[in-house]
Structure formats: C-alpha cells, structure tokens
Structure 1
Amino acid sequence: MAHPVDRSGSSSCCAPHLAASPGREPIPAGRGAHPIEQCHVGAGVFRMGDPFGDGLAGDGETPAHEVSLDAFDIDATAVTNADFARFADDTGYRTEAELAGLSAVFHTLVHPRAEVVGRSPRAPWWLGVAGADWRHPEGPRSGILGREDHPVVHVTWHDARAYCAWAGRRLPTEAEWERASRGGLEGARYPWGDDLLDAHGNWRANIWQGSFPDHDTAEDGWPGTAPVRTFAPNGFGLWQTVGNVWEWCDDPFDPRAYAKRARGPVHDPRPRVAPALRVLRGGSYLCHDSYCNRYRNAARSSNTPDSSMGNAGFRTVAL
C-alpha cells in the first residue's frame, strides 16, 4: 500500500497494497559503482531528539537524550535518478512500484493524461496513479530526462536496500541520520540553525510555500523535487537532509524508543520491535507547517517498507 505520511502521526493510504515482490533473484552484492561524494562523521556523543517541543506526541521525538556513535561515512546527497539508473540498468531490477503498476503522486503534480486509480480518504491530495514509478514520477507519460541530478523517488525501503546490496552499502540508522543531519550544530532545529529563512529572506530548504494542499507558490524555486545540490550543505558537507525528499533509514519505527533510552547515554541504538514500519527522516518538498512540520533535524516519521510515493528517496552509508 502506498502510504504518504500526514501530520496526524498516522499513515494515509491512497493506493492498493504494493506487496513485497516474491521470487526475486538476489542482487549481486557489492558489484556496483557508487560515485556519490562521502562525508566523514567522526565518533562522538550527540543529543538526539527534540529539545523545543515542536514534534507531535505520536512521533516520539522526546525526550532528548545522549547517544554515542562510532565514526561513519555517509553520502553527501540523496541517491539520484542517474545513480539509481546505473543500478537498474546493471541488474535489471524492477522496483515494487513498477511491479505493482502504480504509485502515489501528489495531486498537483499528476501528469494531465495520467490514469488516477485511487485516492486517499484521509489525505485526498494523494492519488494512486497507474504507471507512476521512479522513471515516470508523475505517470507513464512523464520522465526523468533533465532530472538526472534530482533524488530518485517512488522507491520503497526494500528497493533502497536492494540498491545498497548492489553498491556494497547500507541505509543509515536513525541515530546516524540525525547526527549527520545536525552537521555539528547541537540542539538546532535545522541543519543550519533555528531560522527557516536566511538574513536576506531566502528559503534554505525545498518545502511548501503558500496554501496547502492546493497552491504552492514555490518561493524556494521548486514546486517538486530539486537537484540534490541545491541550497547549501551543512557543517559535515551533507546537502538537503531536510526538505526535498523523505529519506529511508534502516531502523524499524518505535514511537516509544526515546523514552526507553532516557536513563543514560546509549551507544548505537537499534530499536527491537517488529518491523511493521520503517523510519523516514527529513520531510519533503510537500512539508508545510499546517500539515507536516517534519522538516527538522529531530523530526521522525514512518511508513511500511513496501510503500512507494513521489516524495521519498534515500542516501547510504559505507559498510
């Protein structure tokens, strides 16, 4: 099922269930080229979670707590359409959206000649579109020509893991993702500080401006995805960890995880819950304060690992 994330803290389905694909051939491990620039994040302790009370209770962003991590290397950018194309062309891999024949597209972005086959009753701005997939983000008559440097979307958690296997990589843990997103700025709302606009009134991230869900003024320059090296990198050199696209993390989602860790420093936390949901981080180009305020370092969300939508992608970490 395609589950775009809403601000209520629950998921809103808008298309038939996209079941995990049976009978796939195993992806050749570690044979693929992964040319994305790497950012080194040194070992250390950081404060994970929301110190401002900005998040929703159901997201489990509190209490803020100390976490220690070993050093790791993480992609400077999200995996792009060009990166994913190399993987798909090398392996013949077909994403879950391609196998299912549909994915979730935001209503203002649907190609005018696309076939709409479903609509979310709780979030009617999300439409199930026949033939929407990573190569055809708005429907089968759309394409990625000219968007090779945009983040790949319409990829499930399973699809992201398949890419990682081919590239000899892995998805970041949620703790690694947040430490990397903070860029060394402890306690800040965003990778650059606490203000959405810079000193000249310019937007620092690709999120929604205007009246959600019908009118995006695109004051940040982008009504949909932006190239992965838009705006400015954070203190560790990562680009666009907030806004643009949601990013899959490896962890199962546990809304009670932080409460369980509050007694003292934790090293490399990994939730021990059934993996019905997987963590998503960073928000997307659709985030607006009236609907989804999750374009923050501490913001958490989740979705089923077979969910495919037009505002979710991923970045990877070295093994």
Structure 2
Amino acid sequence: MIAVTSGSAMAESGPIAGNPLIEIIAGAFVFGRDDGPDNERPRRVLEGSAFGINRTEITNVQYRRFVHGTGHRTAFYANHPMLGLDDRPVVGVSWGDADAFCRYHGLDLPSEQQYERAARGTDGGAFPWGAAPPDTTRANFGADACCSGDVSDGYFMTAPADSFANGASREGVLNLVGNVWEWTRDVYAPYEGGLGAKSDRRYRVLRGGSWNSDPAHLTTTYRLAYDPEFRFSANGGFRCIRFAPP
C-alpha cells in the first residue's frame, strides 16, 4: 500500500505494522562537514541511491512482536515502567539484535550515508528541520551538561516514537535526532580523506543523539563509535531501511 505522508514524500506501509517506509529519492546529497570534529570530515557531495526508511524508531510493541514470532531474546528494558512502554522506542538492544530484527522483516539497518541523507536532506542541514538549533518543540534531548535527561521537552526519558512533528525531516521522518541513538550497519572508521583516529574495526556507529544528550551531540553529523555487543544502553535504539528496486 502506498500513501502520501504529511510531508512531500511517499510512504509504503512496509512489513512493520504502524511504521511505514518513507521514500528517499536518489540523487546528490551532502555528507560530512568540515567545521566539526575530525571524524566528521571531509564534507563532500555524494550520489545516493533511492531507499525507504522507517518513519519512526522501532517501538517496544513492534520489537515484542518480533520476539514472539522468532524466540529472539527480549530487549533489556522490555519491562521498565517508562522505557518499556508500548509506544516508546525500544532500547537495550545490541547491534546484532537490531540487525536481526531488520533482517526478519526483509530490511536492513541504514548506513551512515543513508542516515545522513534522510536526516539532512540534500543540502546538508545541521538538523532535520533546517538550520535552527534544537528546542523542546522539535526534539527530545537532555540537559546542557552531558549526560542527563530533563523534563523541559515533556519527557524525562524516551518520548513516544511519533512525537515531535515539528522536528520532522523534509520527507516526514521523525526523531532522526534526539529520543534515542540509532544503530547503523557501518563499522566505525575515519572517512576517506578524513583526519579521525584510526579504527580497529571493533565498533559500530550510532547516530542522532538521545533523550539524555547535550546539544553538542544532537546533530545530523555526529558519529558515536560503540561496542556492538553492548545491550544495556537505556538510550540506544534503531530503525530499518529497504533498498529501492533498480
């Protein structure tokens, strides 16, 4: 089923009930930046293929259906009184858990390039909504001093995955910054031509910041190298993508 979203993009209902895939069209887009941390450099323009990306982060209820259908282990915070609520993004999942969920549905985790294209649009915005800094109407994030949550945006921890419509990307994808960090499928390494520290290829990359991130971590380009086996993070989740047919 195909439908028009509130933004300009098209949405396919996709294999995950209640979480449609938003179309991201092929074409040139800005990746990386030259005015931030070394591991975000260099800025360049790339050609991207079309793909679809979940409108929201994967929720607890969506992950629970996967667990019931496969016997996969539950999320670490599945029974938490706040983090485990049905409409909140699932947290307490390793990279392997997230990868297994996406593959079960015939999908993949996004690459860093796909995440940035979805989050930044084609012109390399610092935030999904444009150039204005984050505020409590656009994203769920933490105190100015890392790393603790606050309630100024209405939520001490995670917010419902379909919250903060004012912070949607141009295509209508929600919470690409804030709420929870999102696993990508990429192994952490410096960009080609970049100045970042060398990688031993043990880590995967999380993107987007979370409910307890300070504003410095809440950009579309910030890269967090993370142990893929760790599943005890209360602020790490994911969403999936589908490659468009040729």
The letter for the 1-side match of 2:211 is Y
TM-score, reference length from structure 1:
0.65
Task: Please point out which of 7, 27, 45 is paired with 1:44.
Answer: 27
Indicate how the Cα distance of structure 1 residues 143 and 88 shifts in structure 2: closer, same or farther if over 3 A, else same. farther
Which of 37, 48, 68 pairs up with 1:56? 37
Name the residue aligned to 1:301: 224
Q: Contact 1:205/1:220 (CA < 8 Å) preserved in 2? A: yes
- Equivalent residues in 2 for 1:1-319, closer than 5 Å: 33-35=15-17, 36-51=19-34, 53=35, 55-57=36-38, 60-95=39-74, 133-137=76-80, 142=81, 147-184=85-122, 186-197=123-134, 202-209=136-143, 212-213=146-147, 216-232=149-165, 233-254=168-189, 256-259=190-193, 275-289=201-215, 293-308=216-231, 309-319=233-243
1:304 positional shift = 1.4
Counterpart code for 1:178: E
For residue 126 of structure 2, give the secondary structure of its aligned residue in structure 1. coil
- 1:21-73 deviations in whole A, cap 9, x for unaligned? xxxxxxxxxxx94222111011111110124x2x333xx10111121111111
Contact preservation (8 Å) 2:83, 2:90? no
Q: Aligned-pair distance for 1:223?
A: 0.8
Residue-by-residue CA offset, 1:234-277 (whole Å, 9 max, x unaligned)? 111100000000000001010x214269xxxxxxxxxxx76411
- Distance verdict in 2 for CA 1:277–1:212, change over 3 Å: closer
SS at match of 2:68: helix
Cα 1:229–1:300, aligned 2, differ >3 Å: closer, same or farther? same
Query: What CA distance in whole angstroms lies between the structure 2 residues aligned with 1:174 and 1:316?
Result: 12
Call closer, same or farther: CA 1:211–1:71 in 2, change over 3 Å. closer
For 1:136, give the aligned amino acid: N
State the match for 1:127 in structure 2: none
Q: TM-score, normalised by structure 2?
A: 0.83
Q: For 2:147 and 2:188, how far apart are their aligned partners in 1? A: 27
Q: Could you tell me how far apart the structure 2 residues matched to 1:197 and 1:250 are?
A: 26
Segments ≥4 residues shifted beyond 2 Å:
142-145, 209-214
- For residues 276 and 210 of structure 1, the distance between their equivalents in structure 2, rounded to whole angstroms, comes to 30
Q: Which amino acid aligns with 2:229?
A: D
What is the root-mean-square deviation in Å for CA atoms of aligned residues? Answer: 2.3
Q: Unpaired segments of 5 or more residues in structure 1?
A: 1-31, 99-132, 262-272
Deviation of 1:217 (Å): 3.9
Residue type matched to 1:169 in 2? L
* CA distance in 1: counterparts of 2:83 and 2:220, whole angstroms: 29
Displacement after TM superposition at 1:211 (Å): 5.1
Q: Distance between the aligned counterparts of 1:192 and 1:45, measured in 2?
A: 19
Determine which structure has more spread, i.e. the larger CA radius of gyration.
1
* Count of residue pairs the alignment pairs up: 223
Structure-1 residue corresponding to 2:6: none
Give distance in 2, aligned partners of 1:249 and 1:210.
26
> Cα–Cα, structure 1 residues 276 and 211, in superposed 2: closer, same or farther, change >3 Å?
closer
Distance 1:257 1:218, change over 3 A: same
> How far did 1:196 drift?
2.3
How far the C-alpha of 1:183 sits from its partner, in A, is 3.2
Describe the shift of the 1:303–1:248 C-alpha distance in structure 2 as closer, same or farther (beyond 3 A). same
Gapped runs of 5+ residues in structure 2? 1-13
In structure 2, distance between residues paired with 1:304 and 1:211: 24
